[in-house]
């Protein structure tokens, strides 16, 4: 029986994780749950899964929740860290959105927890620090992100020295095939309409700008300790191949499957075992074709910005992420246009004074300062 806590239990990955727990009550017990603001959904989850501790975004919400339930309610960053480090749990699913995941993930690693990592921003902002902590504490860090989960499966039993390159597939997002002119006046609803994956709002926008793929390059670089030169992105609109590894002898191993996040979530939790999931098989005859294309980086510039920021390293990927978080929030609120996201990121990256080997405290400071500077930039 695995004892799990979920950071971000009411979001897309959180609710799908609980769906797996629901299907396999003999395998998993929920110890802790945390949500940012969705108090109704969290209350329902507490009633169903009977966790031992919970956390929510603010003190006001915590007071409100305390009246409904009779277990300790924590809140804010301290609450997230409590859930991440509670001794009763052995595995932490990090499914919060944004750099808010950094400190609790780091705390969970130091507490010796197994990590099922869905919060890619943690590795984007502080990949080197986090991977050092993973190694030092000798813990298991399993990627939930479908591409990295695929790469992990393709690398199973292989020698990393024999990798020629990693090929990360990309659906292309909501605006695949569009030109810069087409993108000038696209709406939030259009951006949220992802062709294959059903995900949360922020990551769906990140997919539309290709920033999500940019983050995934940085995530892959850290997770698999692969130089950026050996990472390639290929557009694959059907989202059946979730990523591939090419070896020095020319062999390519890919992981394929339906685009359903419960598959990588379950694998991250059950590895090295596989659990039965009630998901329809890929119908290859009906599917007919799997196609591939080059990403259009002239139009979707975030992918190149991420490659550049990743190669520079240090504090640069933190700035990439912090600017993106604010710009996407503003776009979702209708305050800026779609193309303002990539334009703002370029500006903030150009203005940044690089810190080559930041500590976690410096990363957190740069993250906050960049977010504030981006808000000022976008409000002026
Ligand atoms: Mg992904």
Domain boundaries, the chain: 2-143, 148-312
Distance 162 CA to ligand 1 centre (A): 24
pLDDT at res. 195: 85
Distance 379 CA to ligand 1 centre (A): 31
Distance 149 CA to ligand 1 centre (A): 9
Tens of pLDDT along the chain (380 residues) come to 999 999 999 999 999 999 999 999 999 999 999 999 999 999 999 999 999 999 999 999 999 999 999 999 999 999 999 999 999 999 999 999 999 999 999 999 999 999 999 999 999 999 999 999 999 999 999 999 999 999 999 999 999 999 999 999 999 999 999 999 999 999 999 999 988 888 889 999 999 999 999 999 999 999 999 999 999 999 999 999 999 999 999 999 999 999 999 999 999 999 999 999 999 999 999 999 999 999 999 999 999 999 999 999 999 999 999 999 999 999 999 999 999 999 999 999 999 999 999 999 999 999 999 999 999 999 98
Closest CA to 133 of 95, 100, 105: 105
Distance 61 CA to ligand 1 centre (A): 31
Distance 358 CA to ligand 1 centre (A): 26
Tokens of 63: 């007071």
Please say whether the beta carbons of 97 and 80 come within 8 A: no
CA dihedral 135, 141, 147, 149 (to 10 degrees): 120
Distance 215 CA to ligand 1 centre (A): 9
Distance 112 CA to ligand 1 centre (A): 26
pLDDT at res. 97: 93
Count of C-beta atoms within a 10 Å radius of residue 341: 25
Residue 5: strand pairing partners: 32, 92
Please say whether the beta carbons of 123 and 143 come within 8 A: no
Which three-class secondary structure state does DSSP give residue 225? coil
CA dihedral 282, 224, 202, 268 (to 10 degrees): 50
Cα four-point dihedral sign 147, 150, 151, 152: positive
32: Cα separation from own chain's centroid: 20
Containing 29, the helix (H) or strand (E) segment is strand 28-34
Distance 1 CA to ligand 1 centre (A): 28
In this structure, which topology does domain 2-143 adopt according to CATH? Rossmann fold (3.40.50)
Count of C-beta atoms within a 10 Å radius of residue 157: 5
Greatest CA span in the chain, whole angstroms?
62
Distance 62 CA to ligand 1 centre (A): 32
Distance 204 CA to ligand 1 centre (A): 10
Distance 168 CA to ligand 1 centre (A): 9
Ion ligand 1 — residues with CB under 5 Å?
A: 145-147
Distance 374 CA to ligand 1 centre (A): 25
Please say whether the beta carbons of 152 and 142 come within 8 A: yes
C-alpha–C-alpha distance, residues 257 and 47, integer Å: 33
Distance 146 CA to ligand 1 centre (A): 5
The label of the residue with tokens 């694959």 reads: 236
Contacts of 64 (CB under 8 A, 6+ apart): 39
pLDDT at res. 197: 82
* DSSP letter for each residue of 91-118: EEEE---SGGGHHHHHHHHHTT-EEEE-
Distance 145 CA to ligand 1 centre (A): 5
pLDDT tens column, 126-166: 999 999 999 999 999 999 999 999 999 999 999 999 999 99
């Amino acid at each position: 029986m695995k004892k799990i806590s979920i950071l971000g239990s009411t979001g897309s990955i959180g609710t799908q994780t609980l769906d797996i727990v629901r299907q396999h009550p003999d395998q998993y017990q929920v110890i802790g749950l945390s949500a940012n603001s969705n108090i109704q959904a969290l209350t329902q989850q507490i009633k169903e899964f009977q966790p031992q501790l919970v956390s929510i975004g603010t003190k006001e919400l915590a007071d409100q929740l305390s009246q409904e339930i009779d277990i300790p309610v924590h809140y804010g960053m301290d609450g997230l860290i409590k859930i991440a480090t509670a001794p009763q749990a052995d595995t932490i699913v990090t499914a919060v959105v944004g750099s808010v995941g950094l400190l609790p993930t780091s705390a969970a690693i130091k507490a010796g927890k197994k990590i099922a990592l869905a919060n890619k921003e943690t590795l984007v902002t502080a990949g080197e620090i986090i991977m050092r902590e993973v190694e030092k504490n000798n813990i298991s860090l399993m990627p939930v992100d479908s591409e990295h989960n695929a790469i992990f499966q393709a690398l199973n039993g292989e020698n990393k020295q024999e990798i020629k390159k990693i090929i990360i597939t990309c659906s292309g997002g909501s605006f695949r095939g569009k030109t810069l002119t087409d993108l000038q006046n696209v709406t939030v609803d259009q951006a949220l309409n992802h062709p294959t994956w059903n995900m949360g709002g922020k990551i769906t926008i990140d997919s539309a700008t290709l920033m999500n793929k940019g983050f995934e390059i940085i995530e892959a670089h850290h997770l698999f300790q692969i130089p950026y030169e050996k990472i390639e992105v290929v557009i694959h609109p059907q989202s059946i191949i979730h990523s591939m590894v090419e070896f020095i002898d020319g062999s390519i191993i890919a992981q394929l499957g339906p685009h359903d996040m419960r598959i990588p979530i379950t694998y991250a939790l059950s590895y090295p075992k596989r659990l039965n999931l009630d998901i329809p098989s890929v119908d290859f005859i009906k599917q007919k074709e799997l196609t591939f294309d080059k990403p259009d980086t002239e139009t979707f510039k975030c992918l190149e910005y991420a490659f550049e920021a990743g190669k520079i390293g240090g504090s640069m990927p933190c700035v990439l992420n912090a600017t993106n978080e604010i710009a996407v929030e503003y776009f979702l609120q209708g305050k800026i246009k779609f193309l303002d996201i990539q334009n703002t990121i370029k500006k903030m990256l150009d203005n940044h004074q690089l810190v080559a080997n930041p500590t976690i405290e410096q990363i957190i400071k740069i993250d906050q300062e960049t977010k504030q500077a981006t808000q000022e930039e976008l409000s002026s």
